[in-house]
Amino acid sequence: MARIGMPVGEGFEDSEFTVPKDGFENAGHEVVVIGKRRGDAVEGKRGQAVARIGVAASNVDPGELDALVIPGGYSPDHLRTEPAVVELVRRFAETGRPLAAICHGPQLLIEAGLVDGRTLTSWPSVRTDLINAGAHWVDRSVVRDHNLITSRKPDDLEAFTKAVLEQL
């Protein structure tokens, strides 16, 4: 059983949190919901899901996670201004374990300085940000670059979740 961290903040894309989370849990893995403050309840941007923060980012040891999966929506833009979350993403990347982001999720990868020279995909509006940060952007449902897994949008969720599970 793997421990999978999912950092979320207010306005996450509902399905980009719930679909992978359910897929990971149905496969027998533990999902750790990470955010600014333990106990906070954050709502998805469509109002269809609420995530309860199980642990504050400042209290997470990246070595205790087997994967880190970043949902999109408005959440990554909010979380990229939280130093503890950005530091967690940066430190987790150093483990070499699966690091995945969908839709706007790569905004956190940019903030953590992890995209230069890497091949990624994202929601189209994040493309220029990724290119300006040194990434090679491609328009595919799932892109794997070593331990980094990215996808574009909710339509890619099945392939995205499968790719993460395969990397575990």
For residue 97, give the CATH number of its domain: 3.40.50.880
Q: 16-40 pLDDT, tens per residue?
A: 999 999 999 999 999 999 999 999 9
- 79 in Cβ contact with 85 (< 8 Å): yes
* Listed residue (64, 26, 49) closest to 162, CA to CA: 26
The active-site residue, picked from 33, 88, 103, 165, is: 103
Q: 101-150 pLDDT, tens per residue?
A: 999 999 999 999 999 999 999 999 999 999 999 999 999 999 999 999 99
Active site (annotated) includes residue 77: no
Q: 9 pLDDT band (50/70/90 cuts)?
A: very high
Q: 41 pLDDT band (50/70/90 cuts)?
A: very high
- pTM of the complete model: 0.97
Domain hosting residue 99, numbered range: 3-167
| 59-63 contacts at long range (C-beta below 8 A, 24 or more positions apart) | 60/5, 60/32, 60/34, 60/88, 62/88, 62/91, 62/92, 62/94, 62/95, 63/95
What total number of domains does the chain contain?
Answer: 1
**Whole-number Å distance between alpha carbons of 147 and 55:** 24
